[in-house]
Amino acid sequence: MNIIDFLNEQKKWTESKYNLWKAYHSDYEEYKHWQYHNPNVKTQNALEAKILRQTHVIEKGMSLSHPREKFGVQKAMELLDFIGEFVECGYNIKDSAPVMNALGVLRAYLAYHEERGFKPEEVLKKFEKYSMYLLEKEQYGIVEVNKAEMEKKVRGSFPDFFMSRHSVRQYSERTIDVEDIEKAVKLAMKAPSACNRQSCKVYFYKDKDVNKELGNLIAGNTGFDGEVQNYIVVTSDMSAFYDSFERNQVYVDGGIFTMALVEALHYYGIASCILQNGEYKERNLKFKEICKNIPENEKIILFIAIGYYKDNFTYAVSHRKNLEDVLIIR
């Protein structure tokens, strides 16, 4: 290579590094501005996201096999504060599916505790002014399911199958059959990926101690980690991508792959709950120390708690937004 070619190559490499830095810096500025902990962000979507997250905490508590006694009072009070903030900002409760869902879940939460001889008076008092908005026919909170009935839907039409899968936090004690994992992953490998680069991998650990260590570190499994049979680790290979415009493709491909995987697990009778992996560098290093076989070039995208379905179990209803809030046609 002559000196001109060498300098041109160096120039391209320097420009590439600068563009990558600029793109990540732009991400930082954009996220810093729009994430809902910014006190200046009062959009309806941001307030609804805050409400949805808090509602989920309460739903999750009710969906456990053995919920903590008198759980959730502080979380319920905070949720009511968020709803109050939503109203103060001038948004209409009746126009918001997330807020209506939150109120329905709060009603289910109060009924849940009342059945067990506990009345959280401060929550009841604060909730009273919103009770007029509730739709009596709608079901909120948790649903009890019979496995045999669910299996009929799994073998039914595609909509029946797809709608029968939920995040489940109750599992049987049956040991996971590796062959079922193999069959599920084989189906998930049909998931589309950027230019068919197939960057995703699945790590499944049979060792109970490894699963226990993962469970102690994973966020979001509080209250049901003792029932989890195994954790699946989904990764995506950063070296499968190039240039700044693909910097987030590991998460896109990882998310698409995971959706296919949990549906495939459901088909083979394995319940699952996706657990996000917050991007904390030190924690990710610890995860890799526990796993021992995930290389540096692979990014841990998320974890999946799994176990076979119980004969009878519950799951959180988790109402979705209205179609017109998600599908925009013009």
Reported as a single tens digit per residue, the pLDDT across 107-149 is: 999 999 999 999 999 999 999 999 888 877 788 999 999 999 9
Q: Residue 54 and residue 75: Cα distance in Å, rounded?
A: 7
Contacts of 123 (CB under 8 A, 6+ apart): 73, 76, 77, 80, 106, 109, 110
Q: Please give the full DSSP string across 220-247, using - where no structure is assigned.
A: T-TTTTTT--EEEEEEEEGGG--SGGGT
CB 195 within 8 A of CB 261: no
pLDDT digit string (tens) for 150-186? 999 999 999 999 999 999 999 999 999 999 999 999 9
Q: How far are the Cα atoms of 28, 47, 122, 201, 258 from residue 158, in angstroms, in the given order?
A: 40, 34, 45, 26, 18
Q: How far are the Cα atoms of 70, 108, 112, 258 from residue 115, in angstroms, in the given order?
A: 12, 11, 5, 37
Q: How far is CA 145 from the centre of its chain?
A: 21
Q: Residue 100 and residue 94: Cα distance in Å, rounded?
A: 7
Task: Look at residue 280 in the predicted model and tell me its pLDDT.
Answer: 84
Measured from the Cβ of residue 5, the count of other Cβ atoms closer than 10 Å reads 9
Q: Residue 54 and residue 38: Cα distance in Å, rounded?
A: 17
Assign 151 to helix, strand or coil: helix
Structurally, at CATH architecture level, domain 145-314 sits in 3-Layer(aba) Sandwich (3.40)
CB 79 within 8 A of CB 51: yes
CB 233 within 8 A of CB 294: yes
Amino acid making up residue 287: F
Residue numbers of the chain with a pLDDT score lower than 50: none
CB 54 within 8 A of CB 99: no
Task: Look at residue 2 in the predicted model and tell me its pLDDT.
Answer: 86
The tally of CA atoms less than 13 A away on the side-chain side of residue 325 is: 10
Q: Residue 278 and residue 273: Cα distance in Å, rounded?
A: 16
Q: Residue 26 and residue 314: Cα distance in Å, rounded?
A: 43
Say what the pTM is.
0.94
- The domain segmentation of the chain, as residue ranges, is 44-140, 145-314
Task: Look at residue 5 in the predicted model and tell me its pLDDT.
Answer: 80
Q: Residue 247 and residue 241: Cα distance in Å, rounded?
A: 8
Query: In angstroms, how far is the first alpha carbon of the chain from the final one?
Result: 55
